[in-house]
Amino acid sequence: MKEPIVTLPTVDARIYPRGGLDVLSRDEVARLRDASSGGMHDLLRRCALAVLTSGSPSDDPRAARELYPDFDIQVLQQDRGVRIDLLNAPAMAFVDGEIIRGVAELLFAVVRDLAYTAIELGERSNYDLATSPGITNAVFGLLRNARILHPADPNLVVCWGGHSIGRDEYVYTKQAGYELGLRGLDICTGCGPGAMKGPMKGATIAHAKQRRRTTRYIGITEPGIIAAESPNPIVNHLVIMPDIEKRLEAFVRIAHGIIVFPGGVGTAEEILYLLGILLREENRELPFPLILTGPAIAAPYFEQIDQFIRLTLGEAAASRYEIVIGDGAAVARKMAQGIKRVREYRIAQKDSFFFNWALEVPLEFQQPFVPTHEAMAALDLHHGRKPHELAADLRRAFSGIVAGNVKEDGMRRIEAHGPFDIHGDHDMMRALDALLRAFVEQRRMKIAGEYRPCYRVLA
């Protein structure tokens, strides 16, 4: 007997965007319209649907499209800007026929960022994306266009962590976010659920108590992730970077400090990315507060992460972070003190408060990595390499697993050709396998359904 087809209520709507999209020239509008048609239209549709289903509990990028198969979005030209037509849009994004204001703002951000990427980073781009300075300039341009860069005192804390975490861990992220908010610190995360939502939720209460009216809850994502991790409802500044590498660089360029909560392979990828950069000689003296933290129940998780880092990257890497267990107030105090040192350093160096130009990010951390089976098997995970070079390939290994878990392209590769093979030195592969098995056992890989590994670790 066939299961009945589930149909969810939908709405047709016409929206007139604000926030930059209402002050475009006719030429810019025409280019935006062209960019949103053809090859980019499916990407726009996927990202828009993710925003309109904000708060969805699924981490399968295909789930929303199966629930709303007839959804479509059209960007149309007006004399003074653009018009967005939504067809068969999820009714959950509307109240009494009107789109929820916060959802509308995130939808405008989707159109804005995808249009900027298509127009400014396309074939006629002025950015040299084959060079490290050119890529950094492109990241700066994307963030400036999104109106994220503000010349204010340093107070932005990037919080990393998993979308699939336990209740105790989620409550702890809220408590830590509350303590950060009490100290006037704003929050930036990957914009999704779990450890990306908790710090923002805690900070909103603290900011309200402190009567802070100008607050920033920044979510930075990329097209392959947003469909699997819809923005949480607290995000009030959404930025969609074109790929994972530019997303990671955006995090470290705007962060005044980073807190890492429990997570899975995506969180491990972020840690390795940052440590690989901080291990470079050019960045040795750069103050960059980095704290790994969680409740008491997460202590074994951080012990395993710490052991893996010491085995692969050495003691110098471990010296760049501090682990604090079960004390959100201590985390907030340490972060506030670290950001004070960042402020003093940038004043002394005459560096900007809103974009960390002094941080040296090498090209191997900036070039997009496409996780094909051949590319994953070719990663050089052996001792004897420079720590930052090994960190770059370890980061790529975790990035490939993220793709196989939740990104549609990666999932299709796994379905077609089986798991990725990851090769390396025996002790390193044994530690990697143990770490990944722990993620699976602790359900850090996936929210919905049983997890089927998309990788094989081979010594």
Q: Where in the chain is CATH 3.30.1850.10? A: 10-126
Dist. CA 452–CA 450, nearest whole Å: 7
- C-alpha 224: how far from chain center: 10
Encode 247-274 in three state secondary structure. Answer: HHHHHHHHCCEEEECCCCHHHHHHHHHH
* Radius of gyration, alpha carbons of the chain: 21
- The DSSP code sequence of 164-202 is S--HHHHHHHHHHHHHHHHTT-EEEE-SSSGGGTHHHHH
**Residue 110 burial class via C-beta count within 10 angstroms: exposed 0-12, middle 13-18, buried 19 and up:** buried
Q: What is the pLDDT of residue 80?
A: 62
Q: What is the mean pLDDT of residues 245-271?
A: 96
Distance separating alpha carbons of residues 69 and 381, to the nearest angstrom: 42
By CB atoms closer than 10 A (0-12, 13-18, 19+), residue 387 is middle
Position 50, amino acid: A
The residue length of the chain stands at: 459
How far apart, in whole angstroms, are the C-alpha atoms of residue 420 and residue 429?
A: 14
- Residue 209's identity, in one-letter code, is K
Chain-centroid distance of CA 457 in Å reads: 26
* pLDDT tens digits for range 33-68: 666 665 678 888 889 999 998 876 665 666 777 888
* pLDDT tens by residue, 362-419: 999 999 999 999 999 999 999 999 999 999 999 999 999 988 887 888 889 999 999 9
Which residue intervals of the chain bear CATH 3.40.50.450?
A: 138-349
pLDDT above 90 covers a percentage of the chain that reads 69
More confident site: 447 or 75: 75
- Other C-beta atoms closer than 10 Å to the C-beta of 247 total 22
Q: Which residue has the higher pLDDT, 448 or 18?
A: 18
Contact 76, 5 (CB under 8 A): no
Q: Buried (b) or exposed (e) across 445-456, using 16+ Cβ within 10 A?
A: bbbeeebebbbe
What is the signed CA dihedral for 161, 271, 225, 106, rounded to 10 degrees?
60
Least confident of 109-123, 250-264, 267-281, 323-337: 109-123
- Predicted local confidence at residue 6, as pLDDT: 61
Angle at which helix 299-313 crosses helix 387-406, to 10 degrees, equals 130
Amino acid at 56: S
Output the six-digit token pair for 340. 């004070």
- Residue 227 has a pLDDT of 76
In this prediction, residues 412-434 reach a mean pLDDT of 93
Q: How far is CA 190 from CA 59, 161, 229, 429, in A?
A: 14, 8, 9, 28
Strand ranges in 79-212 using DSSP code E only, listed in sequence order: 81-90, 94-95, 98-99, 156-160, 186-189
User: Measured between alpha carbons, how far is 233 from 213 in angstroms, rounded to an integer?
Assistant: 18
The second-level CATH assignment, the architecture, of 10-126 is 2-Layer Sandwich (3.30)
pTM of the entire predicted model: 0.92
Q: What is the CATH number of domain 138-349?
A: 3.40.50.450
